[in-house]
Chains A and B, each alone.
Chain A
Amino acid sequence: MSGNKTEVEKNYLNDQKGIKSWLLTLDHKRIGILYLYSIMFFFFIGGMSALLIRLELIRPQEVIVGADTYNQLFTLHGAIMIFLFIIPGIPAILGNFVLPLMIGAKDVAFPKLNLASWYVYIFGSLFAVYSLVTGAVDTGWTFYTPYSTSTDTSVVSMTLGAFILGFSSIFTGINFIVTIHKLRAPGMTWFKMPLFVWASYATAIIQVLATPVLGITLLLLIAERLLGIGIFDPAMGGDPVLYQHFFWFYSHPAVYIMILPGMGIISEVIAVFSKKKIFGYNAIAFSSLGIALVSFLVWGHHMFTSGQSEFAAMIFSFLTFLVGIPSGIKMFNWLATLYKGSITFETPMLYALSFMFLFAIGGFTGIMLGALSVDVHLHDTYFVVAHFHYVMMGGTVMAFLAGLHYWWPKIWGRTYNEFWARIAAFLIFVGFNVTFFSQFILGAKGMPRRYYTYLDQYQPLHAFSSVGAFVIGAGFFIMAFYLIHAMVRGKRIGRNPWGALTLEWTTTSPPSHHNFEEIPVVKNGPYDFDRIRVENDKWIYKEE
């Protein structure tokens, strides 16, 4: 191809040079990269603290750290992974990079707001780092009152950090909503949008509507600590259960902020690597919106043992089951998409298949926890820990890795070593199940979570779980190496290595500053593999 040489020479990565061109960039792709670096940094810290936690739990009594340090470690792990990695992860890195490309836009609707969201993220994360070095926080990522109002650790700076991070999330959400409404390329109707865009849209709605509630809650908590206004602390006339209601009113929808974009990626990857039109496009698109709406009404299922009324518990349990149905439908749709496909097993697909396996287990154990009587036994045990790791890590992180490997060649114009990528995927999958499946059994046997020491009867399963954590660690270690290697030395690839039909694959790899040479006009659906196939970056239409 004649364009090949210029493609390499002129792209968003090299059209401007210098640190200032990065720190003041308004290019959604470069902002995505800024997010990539910063979020991966915190993922590393969160991951290391997880390894320390598992190392400590390898034996029932003290192994490497004391009780207070342990309590700070799991708080650190939870708060960093939730607020600094999983919530922003897919939207801010992959969404920022590919969403405008996918709808054929030059950029997001508000590029300056987009850059501001990154600075707000960094500003908020500084508070989190500050609270770490000034004594850390030992409340758990949930900051339950009155413990969080009475502990002498740096709760204020940590919650202030989470409060500020919320704005970053809201900025990104607003940006995506407006971008999707206003900047779609000619011909891209709502039902020709890739499903990742639909999922990002549903996510953005939750981000914008739910995050302010967390902000208000955390501000009230700070007001209580600093000004002594009794809101949650009964010693000052407050109500601790009120805090739990406020907190989960955000934090349950937040679970869907984490998982919905992941589901979007899985829809892309499964269709592309099966070369098959996605089954039930409308069902998947609408189930994202359905999940987004119902997710606001299920927060009370975190509080079945809190003493809330039986009537409230009944309603929350019922709605919880209701919100599970759309996720189940998506699973069946992905399964049906595989039927009569032409399936290949490159790394993104391996992660997508891991997702289906692990997310299914996460979903079924969610049904366990939604059942009122069973939840009373399982609540606040390792069963819950295992469940949300199956959903968050087995679901969202696997989807994130699928997306990262899927778009990595587009982002850098270079690809990674497939052999090592498969080894890493295998290690992470096996290590994950070793680590967390054992925790289902631990929890059902009665092992409470957030325990620094534990009774001897739980030791074998704890030790087993810890071994798995280090296998996962090894997988990520390998991944870091081959991904960084790919960025600088990886094999150059063309526009469309996977033969996908969405717009980001019609432009150069890496894309130019303005994304497309000319504004694309959309004539086909994103998954029309029944009538289009790609050969050497060229679309070949089926002859009618």
Chain B
Amino acid sequence: MDTTGTLFLPPANSTIAPEVDALFQFILVTSIIFFLIVVGGTAYFIYKYRKKGKDGFTADISENRTLEIIWTVIPIILVFIIFFWGFKTYLKMHVPPAETIQIKATGQKWFWQFDYDNGASSTNDLVVPVGKPVELLLSSQDVVHSFYVPNFRIKMDVLPNRYTVTWFEAPRQGEYDLFCAEFCGTSHSKMIGKVKVVSEREYNEWLEASSNPGEGLSLEEYGAKLYQSKACVTCHSIDGSPNIGPTLSGLIGRTEQFTDGSSLSADENYIRESILNPQAKVVKGYQPVMPTYQGILKDKEIDALVTYIKSLNKTGE
């Protein structure tokens, strides 16, 4: 299988990709041939029949049945081939095999959440075993997103009012870019993650560890991990620089001005409220764009994040 990619296509790593690439190459080659006929013909004619000398009368050539039938019928045959070929693979993309690993994928502004059968979950990192068909049940918490993995050649819109399904089987291990392909607002271009294709053993170990993710870590360490893995990092800096949302650096004890005119010295309860009900108090100068983490973060995880944010004060001093 193609592992290096071509001039046009990125390296392929799914069972469906070779079929897509084959059709892509077929259309590419056919197009180049026809392009050479049209543009080559044009170049030849405009050179050969460039005006020479004085204007005269030109030939009356306004139809040629045979030629016209040829240049109508041949393209029709070719597009029929392309149509059937494309449709065949499209059906395969849309019908998952009978035995699959099912993972729930949720899109929201602006991260991906993956939930596994055993209660494990992850944000922006989709971990899957190599060589096993994986079926994703997709839905959105807010606007339309689109789940896109270029190396797998799959893409499926993620809708707020219904489930959509896509599936893939990755034959090789590695990390692959995951993009949101449907415009979803300010940080649309930050809504990217990774698909991590790992061995069966690593997958099982990861599943085990992720169903009990804080084990062996201090609350602060766990919070630091969650800050990355739950995508807080997308909008909130820890170095004091402004982003989509206010910085977390020095947050505890800071007096925040809100859009409704009120203000408050930030404490643990304010952080908890802002995670679970972010629209309740929106800091002046920022848009009310943060999604709620109600149902995404467990109490212990919120504790860990609060502890971590408090620790940022210490290092800042």
Binding site for B on A (CB under 8 A): 67-68, 71, 138-140, 144-147, 150-152, 234-235, 238-241, 274-281, 283, 304-307, 310, 313-314, 317-318, 321-322, 324-325, 328-329, 331-332, 335-336, 338-345, 353, 356-357, 360-361, 364-365, 367-368, 370-377, 379-381, 440-441, 444-446, 448-455, 499, 529-535, 542
Contact = CB atoms under 8 A, between A and B. Distances in A.
B117 to A, nearest CB: 23
Given A275-B58, A335-B38, A530-B59, A328 B8 contact: no
Q: Is the interface of B mostly helix, strand, loop or mixed?
A: mixed
Interface in B61-115: 61-64, 67-68, 71-72, 75-76, 79-80, 82-83, 85-91, 93-94
Contacts of A336: 61, 64, 67
B90 A313 contact: yes
30 contacts: A68-B287, A138-B186, A144-B183, A146-B144, A146-B160, A152-B287, A234-B160, A235-B160, A241-B159, A276-B58, A277-B60, A280-B63, A306-B159, A314-B87, A317-B86, A321-B80, A339-B45, A340-B49, A340-B58, A345-B50, A360-B34, A371-B27, A374-B23, A375-B86, A376-B155, A444-B9, A444-B24, A446-B179, A451-B189, A530-B58
Given A240-B160, A279-B61, A281-B62, 17 more contacts: A138-B185, A150-B142, A240-B161, A275-B55, A277-B60, A325-B76, A335-B45, A345-B46, A357-B42, A370-B82, A373-B90, A374-B27, A444-B8, A448-B148, A449-B181, A451-B188, A455-B192
B49 A339 contact: yes
Contacts of B19: 373
B143 interface: yes
A372 B49 contact: no
B57 A529 contact: yes
Nearest to A244: B144
Contact of B71 (A138, A151, A328): A328
A341 B189 contact: no
B57 A377 contact: no
B38 A360 contact: yes
Nearest to B45: A338
Contacts of B10: 444-446
Interface residues of B, number: 87
A532 B55 CA distance: 11
Interface string B159-187: 11110100000000000010111111111
A279 B62 contact: yes
Contacts of A238: 161
B51 interface: yes
A454 B189 contact: yes
Interface of B: 5, 7-10, 16, 19-20, 23-24, 27-28, 31, 34-35, 38-39, 41-42, 45-46, 49-52, 55-64, 67-68, 71-72, 75-76, 79-80, 82-83, 85-91, 93-94, 142-144, 146, 148, 150-151, 153-157, 159-162, 164, 177, 179-190, 192, 244, 287
A67 to B, nearest CB: 5
A462 B51 CA distance: 41
Contact of A379 (B38, B155, B177, B183): B155
Contacts of A446: 10, 148, 150-151, 177, 179
B35 A280 contact: no
Nearest to A356: B42
A454 B63 CA distance: 51
Contacts of A370: 79, 82-83, 86
A339 B43 CA distance: 11
A45 to B, nearest CB: 21
A371 B55 contact: no
B304 to A, nearest CB: 29
Nearest to B74: A328
A329 to B, nearest CB: 6
B179 A280 contact: no
B55 A499 contact: yes
A317 B190 contact: no
Of B59, B93, B153, B183, chain A has the most CB atoms within 10 Å of the CB of B183
Contacts, number: 278
Contact of B183 (A147, A345, A367): A147
Contacts of A280: 62-63, 68
Given A140-B183, A338-B45, A360-B39, A377 B20 contact: yes
A543 to B, nearest CB: 10
Given A310-B94, A364-B35, A146 B61 contact: no
Contact of A450 (B51, B177, B183): B183
Contacts of B143: 144, 146-147, 150, 240
Contact of A318 (B83, B182, B287): B83
B63 A374 contact: no
B225 to A, nearest CB: 23
Nearest to B20: A373
Contact of A325 (B42, B72, B153, B187): B72
A353 B287 contact: no
A373 B91 CA distance: 8
Name the residue in A139, A150, A234 with the highest tally of chain B Cβ atoms < 10 Å from its Cβ.
A234
A306 B160 CA distance: 12
A372 B94 CA distance: 11
A460 to B, nearest CB: 13
Contacts of A241: 159
Contacts of A535: 55
Contacts of B156: 305, 307
A325 B9 CA distance: 27
B61 A339 contact: yes
A455 B57 CA distance: 59
The 7 closest A-B CB pairs, nearest first, are: A446-B150, A234-B161, A371-B86, A373-B89, A372-B90, A364-B31, A530-B60
Contact of B162 (A307, A322, A342, A343): A307
B63 A380 contact: no
A374 B24 contact: yes
Given A307-B157, A328-B75, A342 B90 contact: no
B4 to A, nearest CB: 13
A336 B85 CA distance: 31
Contact of A368 (B24, B51, B188, B192): B24
Contact of B79 (A276, A305, A324, A357): A324
B188 A373 contact: no
Given A373-B20, A379-B155, A332 B79 contact: no
Nearest to A321: B79
Contacts of B20: 373-374, 376-377
B78 to A, nearest CB: 9
A367 B31 contact: yes
A329 B160 contact: no
A63 to B, nearest CB: 14
Contacts of A345: 46, 50
